[in-house]
């Protein structure tokens, strides 16, 4: 029950469910729905509560690198899981070079229930000659184009100059 914790005591604060359990997906733009005559509609009772039977989830849903030293390269991994019932394809729109970001991944279809790793790499560099007080913020949304939607992966970093 959500009313009591693991020790059997009444909870003091409300339990906040993750967005993916609430049926909401953060940072997504739906594509125009194209009828797929082959796949058809599913009516399986265990999946009847799910509104969206296709798509990907990003784990984590955003990346924060923190404070980075200028001139160094940093990397982190984001998992992209296919939560649909069919295999799906995706591609990543590479960020512009001035951001210093690059996404490395293996293209191809992802089977239902499986996941792929996206390696997000950032070269910490500062553009412009302005004095920003020793810290410059880099913020960019990486676009991941899937068959049903466009996922936005926010990436933030502060570069120490």
Q: What is the largest CA-CA distance in the chain?
A: 60
Say yes or no: domain 56-160 is CATH 1.25.40.10.
Answer: no
Q: Which of 32, 46, 49, 120 is nearest to 80 (CA)?
A: 120
Q: Nearest to residue 156, comparing CAs of 73, 99, 84?
A: 99
Which pLDDT does position 26 carry in this prediction?
63
Mean pLDDT of all residues belonging to the chain = 81
Distance CA 151, CA 1 (A): 33
The per-residue pLDDT for 48 is: 42
For residue 33, what pLDDT band results from cuts at 50, 70 and 90? Answer: low
Tell me what the mean pLDDT of segment 37-47 comes to: 49
pLDDT given at position 21: 61
How far apart are the C-alpha atoms of 125 and 70, rounded to whole Å? 5
Q: How confident is the model at residue 111 (pLDDT cuts 50, 70, 90)?
A: very high
CA dist 53 and 33 (Å) reads: 13
pLDDT band of residue 13 (cuts 50, 70, 90) is confident
Cis link prior to 60 (omega < 30° from 0)? yes
Q: What is the pLDDT of residues 117-156, one digit of tens each?
A: 999 999 998 876 555 667 889 999 999 999 888 999 999 9
55-100 per-position pLDDT tens digit: 888 999 899 999 999 999 999 999 999 988 888 999 999 999 988 9
**Where are the alpha helices (H) located in 68-149, listed in sequence order?**
none
- Quick check: 18 pLDDT over 50? yes
**Domain extent listing, the chain:** 56-160
């Amino acid at each position: 029950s959500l009313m009591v914790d693991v020790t059997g005591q009444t909870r003091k604060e409300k339990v906040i469910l993750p967005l993916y359990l609430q049926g909401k997906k953060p940072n997504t733009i739906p594509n125009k729905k194209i009828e797929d005559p082959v796949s058809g509609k599913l009516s399986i009772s265990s999946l009847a509560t799910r509104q969206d039977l296709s798509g990907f989830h990003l784990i984590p849903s955003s990346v924060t690198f923190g404070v980075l030293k200028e001139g160094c390269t940093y990397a982190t991994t984001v998992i992209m899981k296919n939560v649909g019932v069919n295999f799906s394809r995706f591609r990543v729109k590479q960020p512009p070079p001035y951001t210093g970001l690059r996404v490395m991944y293996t293209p191809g279809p992802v089977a239902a229930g499986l996941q792929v790793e996206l390696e997000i790499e950032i070269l910490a560099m500062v553009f412009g000659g302005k004095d920003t007080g020793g810290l410059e913020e880099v913020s960019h949304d990486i676009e991941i184009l899937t068959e049903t939607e466009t996922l936005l992966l926010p990436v933030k970093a502060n570069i120490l100059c």
